[in-house]
Chains A and B, each alone.
Chain A
């Protein structure tokens, strides 16, 4: 759900401030309550929910290896022999191959750019004592609350106009999508990174300044490496947002050679009209959409979760 991702980890300090300073919570050891009957019910429900979520993933993977006819006959069945053709079909003829490459390029390039552009801005906003900087910070925060659909038509028309003037392909091109992804991703990334920079100790920079290093060098050589984990988190979240982006891609990207994965998936659904649905291929496509995010989550899950949530509860 990419709409959830575009949310700030608001560092509400009230929550923390309202609590007396204390040693870290260690409550489990001291509270060996027996589990109430309600607790058992609750736990059962939770595990059922977990089982359901895991089942969905397994079912998706299994179904992607089945023949369409079999899927329709028995949606929960297991293939006797894995039907790899689904992936071959989806990749080659279904256009998912091109789409996957486009998705990877658009996502990686836009995420790199948005972090590269946001990091300096976030840094000065976090550290500056100027009055105006708080107004700018507010501007970025407000940007977070703007629903994408408000920007959809104007951005689309502006891209068209820009294409007219510059003769650079903006509509129906991966580079156009990259620009839009970067532009739209700025508020969240600036916001996220400002939080990280603010938490960095000032002393190190001061030491650098005493050593005579310039502000820019301090930023590049000292601050950025220190903020590496923040930058990586910001990058990961930009990747996930970019990977899932649908609304703007749907409007901007048109031909099969420029589609990203979500749009290829939609186009695949459309094809069912006139030539019948290919559920096997569809599930193979879904696997391609889901797997990279799943892999990222397994690999860097803690960081992603923290990026999206921890700031809020701090």
Chain B
């Protein structure tokens, strides 16, 4: 997947020249399997086997109770024809690209603003905090704050807005979800980008300043190129997490005890609803097929993004 650029594979100690195998090396070799095996077994049990099993399930029709029947690629054909599934893929892509890009722009803006601001550590902490909270909480808050007679509209009325936006209308619901995501993710990415920017030596900026560069030029010619690798890693991180978005949508769009409107579903919601949704049919096969599609999605997107964001592809 993300193989080529992951530096991890090269242990730092490999560079160390060693004439012969030392005692410590030998004892380490002896310990290699016993120490690795428990984690490896869990990895097999909770990642490898389930993925293979999901692949197998996706070729079957099964309600979890009666006999499983092999139906080949039929589930995938059904998914391709299902407007709800297509919609959930589109929503996932919206989360990835729209939320991703806006979050990054905000994160950079914040980084620039915070750089020489008083109390930046405090600000950063406050903005970072939402990352740590179960997103469900924000779903509940949003439903409350943005309801037609809720606090936000009341405040707007105070400043003279008679006809406030219909925040929670079905058409806006997904946009609202995206806004909440941007809000809660910005702090996290700001923190990462800030620590990358902090590594940039000051004299780069001084030199740029002497050449008459304004803030934008400094950003464009110093910050961006020097932080580029971090940005591209962040992009991969965001790809991985955007495909997982679940809790926020589950609670945000949903009426009590009912599934959220299909127009807000992400692929994670679709997988859950197909297999465990309320009042629906228990379709493990369809669920597994949609899960496999989301796995392919994340793989293709990650590889694609890494290609696209490669340094040599960017003219800096």
Asked whether any CB of A lies within 8 Å of a CB of B in the complex, the reply is yes
Q: Which residues of A are interface residues toward B (Cβ below 8 A)?
A: 1-8, 10-16, 18-20, 22-23, 25-28, 30-31, 33, 36, 38-39, 42-43, 45-47, 49-50, 53-54, 56, 60, 75-76, 117-118, 120-130, 133-134, 136-158, 180, 182-184, 186-187, 190-191, 194-195, 198-199, 202, 205-206, 208-210, 214-216, 218-219, 240, 243-244, 246-247, 250-251, 262, 265-266, 269-270, 272-273, 277, 279, 282, 286, 289-290, 293-294, 297, 301, 304-305, 308-310, 312-313
Per the bound structure, the CA–CA distance linking A153 and B42 in Å amounts to: 17
Q: Which residues of A lie under 8 Å from residue B229 when comparing CB positions?
A: 12, 14-15, 18
Name the residue on B nearest A117 (C-beta): B38
> With A and B bound together, what is the CA distance between A140 and B6 in angstroms?
12
1/0 per residue, CB under 8 A from A, across B252-290: the answer is: 000011000000000110011001100000001001100
Whether the Cβ atoms of A4 and B256 lie closer than 8 Å is no
Contact B8 A129 (CB under 8 A): no
A190→B203 CA distance, assembly (Å): 38
The complex places the Cα of A12 from the Cα of B128 at a distance, in Å, of 22
User: What are 14 A-B residue pairs whose CB atoms fall within 8 Å in the complex?
Assistant: A2-B134, A8-B237, A42-B109, A42-B112, A120-B31, A121-B35, A124-B32, A142-B2, A143-B43, A147-B268, A149-B244, A154-B50, A247-B246, A312-B237
A204 CB → nearest B CB, Å: 11
CB pair B1–A154 under 8 Å, yes or no, is no
- Partner of B240 from the list A19, A20, A124, A145 (CB cut-off 8 Å) is A145
Q: Which 4 A-B pairs have the closest CB atoms?
A: A215-B27, A183-B46, A27-B202, A121-B39
**A190 CB contacts on chain B under 8 angstroms:** 39
| Interface bits B9-27 vs A (CB < 8 Å: 1, else 0) | 1111110100000111101
Beyond the given A15-B199, A120-B31, A150-B291, please list 16 additional residue pairs across the A-B interface where CB-CB is below 8 A: A1-B135, A3-B245, A3-B246, A10-B233, A12-B5, A18-B226, A31-B209, A133-B32, A144-B240, A150-B292, A152-B272, A184-B46, A219-B35, A244-B133, A290-B133, A313-B192
Binary flags per residue of B176-199, CB closer than 8 Å to A gives 1, else 0: 000000001100100111011011
Interface status of B110 (Cβ within 8 A of chain A): yes
- Counted as pairs of residues, one from A and one from B, with CB atoms less than 8 Å apart, the total is 381
Say yes or no: is B140 at the interface (Cβ < 8 Å to chain A): yes
Q: Using A146-B295, A265-B136, A269-B251 as known contacts, say yes or no to A151 and B188 having CB atoms under 8 A apart.
A: no
| B243 is an interface residue with CB less than 8 A from chain A | yes
On chain B, the number of residues with a Cβ less than 8 Å from chain A's Cβ atoms is: 127
Of A117, A120, A137, which one neighbours B9 at CB under 8 angstroms?
A: A137
Whether A4 lies near B294 (C-beta < 8 A) is: no
Asked whether, in the complex, the Cβ of B275 is within 8 Å of the Cβ of A31, the reply is: no
Q: Are A54 and B126 in contact (CB under 8 A)?
A: yes
Tell me the minimal C-beta distance from B208 to chain A in angstroms.
11
CA distance A277 to B256 in the complex (A): 9
B133 close to A293 (CB less than 8 A): yes
Cβ contacts under 8 Å, A10 to chain B:
6-8, 233, 236-237
Q: What is the CA–CA distance of A301 and B126 in the complex, to the nearest angstrom?
A: 11
Q: How far is the CB of A57 from chain B (nearest CB, A)?
A: 8
- Residues in A with CB closer than 8 Å to B13 are 127, 129, 198, 202
B251/A266 in contact, CB under 8 A: yes
Contact assessment for A12 and B233 in the assembled complex, using a CB-CB cutoff below 8 Å = yes
Say yes or no: B128 contacts A305, CB within 8 Å: yes
B57-A153 in contact (CB<8A): yes
Given A6-B241, A150-B295, A219-B31, also A142-B202 (CB < 8 A): no
Chain A residues lying within 8 Å of B128, measured Cβ to Cβ, are 305
Q: Which of B70-78, B113-121, B160-168 contacts A (4 or more CB under 8 A)?
A: B113-121
State whether A246 touches B35 (Cβ < 8 A). Answer: no
Smallest Cβ-Cβ distance to B284: which chain A residue: A153
Residue B219 CB within 8 A of the other chain: no
Q: Does B51 contact A (CB under 8 A)?
A: yes
| A19 to B257 alpha-carbon distance, docked (Å) | 55
Check A313–B53 contact: CB distance below 8 A: no
Q: How far is the CA of A210 from the CA of B22 in the complex (A)?
A: 10
**B136 lies within 8 A of A246 (CB):** yes
Per the bound structure, the CA–CA distance linking A277 and B68 in Å amounts to: 41
Contact of B25 among A20, A129, A137, A246 (CB under 8 A): A129
A149 lies within 8 A of B267 (CB): yes
- Do A153 and B230 have beta carbons less than 8 Å apart? no
Contact B110 A209 (CB under 8 A): no
Q: Cβ of B304 < 8 Å from any Cβ of A?
A: no
- Cβ of B170 within 8 Å of any chain A Cβ, yes or no, is no
Q: Does B93 sit within 8 A of A, measured CB to CB?
A: no
